[in-house]
């Protein structure tokens, strides 16, 4: 299910027409007053610009308040602090990427369960699909990858690599249960290989690739890694 984020409302939409509000402004479920909704849009735009320019560590709630024409105390009525503000900007995009990740994960495990065979030829185009999602939410991932130092998201790439490592090891165990011979691997080397692959994916954001360039690169990485993984696992 493809998702995109309305930056001003911080709402995640699906292609089925369903929306889920992810705002810290309205925890009661009641409709926000018009003036509060307008302030919401101003704060989101100002926060994006502040974090993009200064990064999380050096971002100033005072500057954001000034840009919104608000007092600092007024801004804190909307957000308890800088961490919550930053999280409200990036977490919906991360949640959507995790949904896509687990969707692709399920495809691999279901195929293995149904056919009893393994296909590591990247025919699912998982890196291209991930890159499409990232570029649908480029501003959010630019903050996460380039501007999150000092926040709870500064180890995002490391966390993704750890998740991919755990899921792949679990997949290897399932292959063995299905009678598929898998080479014994060096887990330290495996960790570095996974990390390199994840790092490559997000380097497009760091280097400011265009969408076209990024999708081409994702396709190149898939072609590069697919035969390498087959050789590495001996499948």
Question: Structural domain of residue 45, as residue ranges?
Answer: 3-82
Round to whole Å and give the CA distance between 106 and 185. Answer: 24
Which pLDDT value is given to residue 37?
67
CA Rg value for the chain: 21
| 103 and 189 co-located in one domain | yes
- Which of 91, 100, 90, 98 has its CA nearest to residue 15? 100
- Look at residues 24, 53, 82 and tell me which one is the last residue of a structural domain: 82
Do 44 and 123 have their domain in common? Answer: no
Q: Is the pLDDT of residue 192 over 60?
A: yes
Domain boundary residue among 29, 63, 82? 82
pLDDT tens digits, one per residue of 63-90: 999 998 988 988 888 889 999 999 999 9
Q: For residue 225, what pLDDT band results from cuts at 50, 70 and 90? A: confident
How many structural domains comprise the chain? 2
Place of tokens 């760091």: 206
Residue entry with tokens 């959507």: 96
Question: What percent of the chain lies above the pLDDT cut of 90?
Answer: 51
The residue out of 65, 82, 99 marking a domain boundary is: 82
pLDDT band at 206 (very low <50, low <70, confident <90, very high): very high
- pLDDT higher than 80, residue 16: no
Average pLDDT of span 156-185: 90
Q: Are 5 and 96 in contact (CB under 8 A)?
A: yes
Contact 8/92 with Cβ under 8 angstroms?
no
Are 100 and 209 found together in one domain? yes
Residue 104 CB contacts under 8 Å (≥ 6 apart), including other chains: 124, 126, 129, 130
Please state the pTM of the whole predicted model. 0.79
- Regarding whether 127 and 25 lie in a shared domain, the answer is no
Q: Which residue has the higher pLDDT, 124 or 153?
A: 153
Tell me which of 26-30, 53-57, 196-200, 210-214 is least confident.
Answer: 26-30
Q: What is the pLDDT of residues 97-141, one digit of tens each?
A: 999 999 988 888 887 777 666 665 545 588 999 999 999 999 999
What is the average pLDDT value for the chain, to the nearest integer? 82
Q: What CATH number has the domain bearing residue 72?
A: 1.10.10.60
């Amino acid at each position: 299910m493809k998702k995109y984020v309305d930056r001003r409302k911080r709402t995640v939409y699906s292609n089925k027409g369903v929306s889920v509000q992810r705002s810290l402004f309205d925890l009661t479920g009641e409709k926000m007053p018009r003036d509060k909704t307008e302030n919401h849009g101003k704060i989101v735009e100002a926060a994006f610009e502040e974090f993009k320019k200064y990064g999380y560590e050096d971002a100033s709630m005072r500057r954001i308040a000034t840009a919104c024409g608000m007092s600092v105390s007024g801004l804190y009525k909307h957000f308890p602090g800088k961490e919550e503000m930053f999280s409200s900007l990036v977490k919906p995009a991360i949640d959507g990427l995790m949904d896509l990740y687990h969707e692709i994960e399920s495809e691999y495990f279901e195929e293995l369960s149904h056919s009893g065979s393994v296909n590591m030829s990247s025919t699912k185009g998982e890196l291209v699909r991930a890159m499409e999602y990232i570029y649908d939410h480029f501003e959010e991932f630019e903050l996460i990858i380039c501007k999150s130092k000092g926040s709870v998201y500064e180890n995002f790439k490391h966390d993704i690599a750890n998740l991919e490592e755990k899921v792949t090891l679990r997949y290897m165990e399932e292959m063995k249960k299905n009678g598929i011979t898998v080479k014994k691997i060096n887990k330290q080397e495996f960790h570095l290989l996974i990390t390199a692959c994840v790092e490559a994916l997000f380097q497009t954001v760091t280097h400011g690739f265009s969408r076209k360039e990024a999708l081409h690169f994702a396709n190149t990485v898939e072609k590069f890694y697919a035969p390498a993984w087959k050789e590495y696992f001996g499948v």
